[in-house]
Amino acid sequence: MNVGAGKRFRSPRAILFDLDGTLIDSAPDIAAAVNELLAGRDLPPLSVGQVKAMIGGGVMKLVERAFAASGSPLAGSALEEANRDMAPIYRRHLTGLTRLMPGVRETLTHFHLNGTAMGVVTNKPQLATREILLHFHLTEYLGAIVGGDAVTKLKPAPDALLLALDQLHVEPHEALMVGDSISDVGAARATGMPVALLRGGYTQVPVEELGADLVCDSLLDLPAALQRLQAAA
């Protein structure tokens, strides 16, 4: 556990979680979808590791990065067409290879029993997000589910976080953002929330270098880490 210097934590009334790389390891499914799209254009497949490095910023950004990596970059109407082709493919690859990240169910149960409101804020499309959460029986813990197409601007803009907090009836200073990438940090800062990052997610930059208030090895460490910080404060 690493703690940002001088940061003061209160017991959050609400916690907002990112999805990919935070609650779920979806990279294998996303890679399968990307490779199906590329195969339809006679382009070679990408590895799971390559695709994992492309996650973040929404589906269109993923498509753009994938074609660039394949040596056939797209822009404008060609990118929009590929993004439209990706939509049904993406929906076929949501839960087949996806798994929960370590400690998800135990941690959500802990905060649920403590009366903490919870939500998910992600750049993944809303219907796909809800289908995944239903598949893993996580919706019962969540008072807000906000996908990327439910707002005008994706993370790191604050729009999704503010919408989720409004649905939970919680002010930003009463909440905590938990994610795995710089977009989660940026969104939290723009919202006025503290932010915790998890190791092992989908970032190419070490989480210790992203400016979070708290860094944990996994979600299993989060409850105890928050308790220690609150006691110290």
- Cα–chain-centroid distance for residue 56? 8
pLDDT digits (tens, 9 = 90+) for 145-202: 999 999 999 999 999 999 999 999 999 999 999 999 999 999 999 999 999 999 999 9
- 10 Å CB burial of residue 142 (0-12, 13-18, 19+) is buried
pLDDT of residue 227: 87
pLDDT digits (tens, 9 = 90+) for 35-49: 999 999 999 999 999
Determine whether 85 is an active site residue.
no
pLDDT of residue 83: 96
pLDDT digits (tens, 9 = 90+) for 186-195: 999 999 999 9
**pTM score of the predicted model:** 0.93
pLDDT digits (tens, 9 = 90+) for 99-140: 999 999 999 999 999 999 999 999 999 999 999 999 999 999
Catalytic residue among 18, 159, 213, 221: 18
